[in-house]
């Protein structure tokens, strides 16, 4: 097993350095997704690999590009995390340990949404997403929107994905469950302070609409198709 950490970054250069400084135990890919000004990696963080796009393509595009690069470079597993500071970098080691014991599974970060610092809109959206994930897969998971995860790259690279943006990571979990990839929950600290909320690219109304469209499609498929057919859909067969 060979681990890396993938960090998409769009205009979060101010918080990126602190995130990088807290990571140990794995090589790092930073994806500069059209940041203005462009992301600059200090010499202090030697060995950090930078993937740069001149235009913003969205988180899904950034993750797909990094997964492809990491797989080509010989990495078997990738921990994904955000650059805005909401994912504590000190937790990376726990993801590596969990993945080492479950090499064929996705390790999914689960935040505590009963924490008083969580905005009402985020609490609602997570419950909304969790409900539909259970309806579509039969799997119960306490946080289906957290981007702090560890993926077995070769397994998820075979999934047939249809949606981009913030819906990508939720669809990925559904397709993974349909394909028979295990999902291991890992409790992580919940960070929703003023700085994190100010840096977030999350759009409550627009993103909720996109989630609704995605879930309508996935739920309908889960109703009308057999488990074996869903597996084939997930794998693009």
Please, what are the domains in the chain? Answer: 3-234 (3.90.550.10)
Identify the residue whose tokens are 């994190």.
196
Mean per-residue pLDDT for 158-182?
93
pLDDT digits (tens, 9 = 90+) for 38-91: 988 876 687 799 999 999 999 999 999 999 999 999 999 999 999 988 899 999
Cβ within 8 Å of residue 50, ≥6 positions away: 29, 30, 32, 39, 41
The least confident of 30-44, 71-85, 176-190 is 30-44
DSSP-derived secondary structure for 163-190: --TTHHHHHHHHHHHHTT--EEEEE---
DSSP three-state, residue 140: coil
> What's the rounded mean pLDDT across residues 80-104?
94
């Amino acid at each position: 097993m060979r681990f890396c950490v993938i960090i998409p970054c769009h205009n979060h250069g101010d918080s990126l350095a602190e995130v990088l400084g807290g990571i140990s135990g794995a090589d790092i890919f930073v994806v500069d997704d059209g940041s203005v000004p462009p992301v600059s990696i200090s010499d202090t963080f030697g060995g950090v690999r930078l993937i740069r796009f001149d235009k913003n393509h969205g988180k899904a595009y950034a993750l797909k590009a990094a997964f492809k690069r990491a797989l080509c470079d010989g990495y078997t597993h990738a921990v994904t995390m955000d650059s805005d500071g909401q994912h504590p970098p000190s937790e990376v080691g726990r993801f590596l340990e969990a993945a080492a014991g479950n090499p064929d599974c996705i390790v999914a970060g689960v935040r505590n949404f009963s924490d008083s610092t969580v905005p009402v809109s985020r609490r609602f959206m997570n419950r909304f997403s969790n409900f539909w994930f259970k309806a579509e897969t039969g799997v119960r998971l306490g946080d289906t929107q957290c981007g702090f995860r560890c993926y077995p790259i070769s397994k998820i690279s075979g999934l047939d994905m249809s949606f981009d943006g913030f819906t990508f990571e939720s669809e990925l979990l559904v397709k993974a469950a349909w394909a028979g990839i295990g999902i291991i929950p890992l409790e992580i600290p919940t960070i929703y302070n003023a700085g994190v909320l100010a840096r977030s690219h999350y759009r409550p109304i627009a993103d909720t609409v996109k989630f609704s469209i995605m879930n309508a499609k996935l739920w309908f498929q889960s109703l009308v198709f057999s488990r074996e057919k869903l597996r084939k859909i997930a794998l693009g067969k």
